[in-house]
């Protein structure tokens, strides 16, 4: 079984979000980059499948040289090889088309991506990739078991969950629940040393243009100070929620 795990290289969840160049570009100054948290669940699941069933795990990122540290971390966690598509990621459709090319070149059975990245929050790449490949797709996947050339998946639905059986090739968009958070892998020294010898292949992009682009960023307006209500005067809170905020 060949597994491809799509990795987004994103600002750490605690990062301060600022913009430069007249608010047209994200300010990377002082920002620590990490594996996208939703992708981390997918990567751990792939490594577990490798350990249990002998899968070969490749990680891929569409991005610049700065993403190589993140790919090396994925190799240290247990992926066998890495691919960086040498292109600046502009939008989901462009990224999906680059990933489509990688999948077609590599002939993967199972493609795992995170439901969404925590920077641009598009939530579209896995679905678009599945659409381009014409293969099965399970979004918001919180459970995956593989047997032979098919899988049993569990996906979140509004107010519950749904189990399905699906044949390969398959794209899943995973998130928290795909593996337990306590089972997430962190690189150990042996993994870090081994990662140095693993292949990180650079692939040139196929010529695709973006369908969307961020032309400007804004930050939310500063909030007015909180209105504090005494714990002994909760009638006032009810009154404010009803008459001022008009939410009850």
Partner 1 sequence: MSVLIYTESNEGKFKKTSFEIASYAKKVADSLETTVTAVTINASDVSSLATFGVSKVVNVTNSDLNTFHARAYADVIKQIATKENAKVIVFASTTDSLHIAPLVAVGLDAGFASNVIALPENTSPFQVKRNAFSNKAFSITEMTTDVKVLGLSKNSFGLVEVPVSLTEEAFTPTFSDADFGVKVTNAEKSTGKVTIADAEIVVSAGRGLKGPENWGMIEELASVLGAATACSKPVSDIGWRPHSEHVGQTGKPVAANLYIAVGISGAIQHIAGINSSKVKVVINTDPEAPFFKVADYGVVGDAFDVVPKLIEKLKIFKANNA
Stretch that binds partner 1, among 48-56, 68-76, 91-99, 195-203 (CB under 8 A): 91-99
Q: List binders of partner 1 among 146-185 (CB under 8 A).
A: 152-153, 156-167, 175-177, 181-182
Quick check: 211 binds partner 1 (CB under 8 A)? yes
User: Among 40, 115, 37, which Cα is nearest to 78's?
Assistant: 40
Angle at 238 between CA 234 and CA 243, to 5 degrees: 140
Q: List binders of partner 1 among 46-65 (CB under 8 A).
A: none
Which stretch of DSSP H or E encloses residue 131?
helix 125-133
Q: List binders of partner 1 among 106-145 (CB under 8 A).
A: 118-128, 130-132, 134-140, 142
Minimum distance of partner 1 from residue 50's CB (angstroms): 24
Quick check: 81 binds partner 1 (CB under 8 A)? no
Nearer to partner 1, 178 or 195 (CB): 178
Contact between 114 and 179 under an 8 Å Cβ cutoff? The reply is no
Question: Cα separation of 10 and 40, whole Å?
Answer: 12
Quick check: 30 binds partner 1 (CB under 8 A)? no
Q: Which single residue is written with the structure tokens 């292109």?
A: 87
Q: Which of 149, 188, 201, 212 binds partner 1 (CB under 8 A)?
A: 212
Quick check: 229 binds partner 1 (CB under 8 A)? yes
Question: Cα separation of 219 and 77, whole Å?
Answer: 35
Minimum distance of partner 1 from residue 248's CB (angstroms): 7
The encoded tokens of residue 144 equal 């995956």
Q: Which of 63, 92, 143, 174 binds partner 1 (CB under 8 A)?
A: 92
Quick check: 227 binds partner 1 (CB under 8 A)? yes
Adjacent-strand bridge partners of 56: 2
Question: Cα separation of 172 and 127, whole Å?
Answer: 8
């Amino acid at each position: 079984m060949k597994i491809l795990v799509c990795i987004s290289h994103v600002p750490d969840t605690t990062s301060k979000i600022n913009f430069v160049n007249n608010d047209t570009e994200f300010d990377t100054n002082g920002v620590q980059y990490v594996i996208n948290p939703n992708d981390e669940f997918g990567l751990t699941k792939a490594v577990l499948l490798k350990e249990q069933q002998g899968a070969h795990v490749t990680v891929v990122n569409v991005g610049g040289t700065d993403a190589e540290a993140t790919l090396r971390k994925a190799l240290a966690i247990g992926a066998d090889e890495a691919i960086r598509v040498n292109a600046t990621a502009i939008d989901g459709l462009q990224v999906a088309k680059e990933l489509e090319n990688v999948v077609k070149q590599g002939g993967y059975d199972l493609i795992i991506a995170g439901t969404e990245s925590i920077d641009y929050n598009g939530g579209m790449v896995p679905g678009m990739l599945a659409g381009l490949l014409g293969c099965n797709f399970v979004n918001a996947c919180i459970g995956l078991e593989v047997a032979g050339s098919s899988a049993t998946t569990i996906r979140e639905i509004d107010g519950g969950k749904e189990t399905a059986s699906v044949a390969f090739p398959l794209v899943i968009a995973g998130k928290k629940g795909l593996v337990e958070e306590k089972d997430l892998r962190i690189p150990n020294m042996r993994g870090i040393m081994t990662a140095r010898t693993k292949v990180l292949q650079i692939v040139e992009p196929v010529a695709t243009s973006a369908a969307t682009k961020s032309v400007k960023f804004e930050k939310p307006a500063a909030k007015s100070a909180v209105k504090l209500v005494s714990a002994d005067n909760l009638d006032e809170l009810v009154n404010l929620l009803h008459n001022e905020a008009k939410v009850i």
